Amino acid sequence: MKTKNNKSRNKSYSVNLRAEAATVLFQILEEGKSARECLPAIQDHLKEQDKAWLQEMVYGVLRNLPILQFWLRKLLDKPLKNRFKIVEHVVMLGFYQLAFSRVSQHAAVSETVAACQALNTIAMKGLVNAILRTFLRENIFEESAPNEQIASGLPKWLFKKLQLEYQAELSNVVKNMQLKAPIWLRVNPIQISAEQYKTKLHQENIEYQTSDQHTNGIILAKGRDVTSLPGFHEGWFSVQDGAAQLAAAYLQPKAGEHILDCCAAPGGKTCHILELQPEITSLYALEVDQTRARRIEENLERLKHKANIIIGDASDPSRWWDNKQFDRILLDAPCSATGIIRRHPDVKWLRKAADIGVLVELQKQILDAIWLTLKPGGTLLYATCSILPEENHQQISQFLSRTHDARLDDSFCHDSVNKPGQQILPGEQQMDGFYYARLVKSAAN
């Protein structure tokens, strides 16, 4: 959807922000692009305060989309089409401001209506104005959601899956998926100790919490631009959720070992392995996408680490593997990312029910293929940022049943018989949803 944003910037900066928020929503919900693709391109020319506002509006609409769509259907006689489709996103943006944000009613209505001009849909200004004023006059925003699924903020297919798997914990899981995720840092002990870094934060009056589970983990009390934190450019820390920080510890790397980080981008876990065990002989970071592999390079460079980056398909080791078996493998498998929806709310609208079976089959292929590259007696740590059973404990159960030389290390399992591995749910100890299973290859006879 092309917009005439350059003209709007000269006339009204606030109008431009709403027009650009609607543009991002259109690209995500109608064109299937991710927020990571859309937001940076638009935010590039903005001041920090406006970047934060734009992201808050976009993510807020995505978190509350079902109820916003419900209200829209009540107040819009028929769906808009073609170049006017973006106006539906303008209206929902207005609803979000009026129902969930601190934006004044006057600004929410007048500036949202004015956004139509920036989007070259000036003919819709009257319609948008009428809908938003009816929304206020009839107190539509006070109406509760008509059912649990709409109240959850989740698409129907995902809500039904969670209902089946997490009956007892459903309300808590749904609630935590809607909350904003805190910013977790992982201090790089090769550059600075955790205690020294905490002192730096104290000196700059930056509030934080710590976690008993994470020696070098820090949870910021408030969201902020991480590049402005002390030591970012010097490589003193990484931004990594607490659940993801468990990967290197669960892998248990030892000095002198030959290790593979499989599906490694953006490189957070690669760097953490090196920080946890600087004396490993070699670490290979495998990534199929060359663009994403550059992120590994950038993180290694900033944190002053070194690893061997391989561009290759994990499901086809014959194209990149040199036949030297690995002592340990971290397989952070491609997945639905349903465990990180609170951090990336676009995921729940980009992911479709039909995608899950495709991902499960890909995970199976990678597991079977990469297992052959592991030494007898070696360890493979399987990880996903998913909370769906078919990608996690069911996937591992099936792998164990067909793989004669694989056994489960159940030292951190919740239920090693029925649900092998460890499932972390969103919000648990302030962490994202994540799954881990540690598999050991039988030693050669």
- Catalytic residue of the set 263, 271, 335, 385: 385
Q: For 398, what's the count of Cα atoms within 13 Å in the CB-facing half-sphere?
A: 14
Contact, 141 vs 135, CB < 8 A?
yes
- 3-state secondary structure string, the chain? CCCCHHHHHHHCHHHHHHHHHHHHHHHHHCCCCCHHHHHHHHHCCCCHHHHHHHHHHHHHHHHCHHHHHHHHHHHCCCCCCHHHCHHHHHHHHHHHHHHHCCCCHHHHHHHHHHHHHHCCCHHHHHHHHHHHHHHHHCCHHHCCCCCHHHHHCCCHHHHHHHHHHCCCCHHHHHHHHHCCCCCEEEECCCCCCHHHHHHHHHHCCCCEEEECCEEEEEEECCCCCHHHCCCCCCCCEEECCHHHHHHHHHHCCCCCCEEEEECCCCCHHHHHHHHHCCCCCEEEEEECCHHHHHHHHHHHHHHCCCCEEEECCCCCHHHCCCCCCEEEEEEECCCCCHHHCCCCCCHHHHCCHHHHHHHHHHHHHHHHHHHCCEEEEEEEEEEECCCCHHHCHHHHHHHHHHCCCEEEECCCCCECCCECCEEECCCHHHCCCEEEEEEEECCCC
Which residue, chain included where needed, has tokens 């390079």? 297
Which residue, chain included where needed, has tokens 């459903």? 170
Kindly list the distances between the CA atom of residue 419 and the CA atoms of 401, 416, 435, in Å, as whole numbers in the listed order.
13, 6, 11
The yes-or-no answer on residue 385 being catalytic is: yes
Report the relative pairing of strands 406-409 and 434-441 from DSSP bridges. antiparallel
Active-site residue numbers? 385
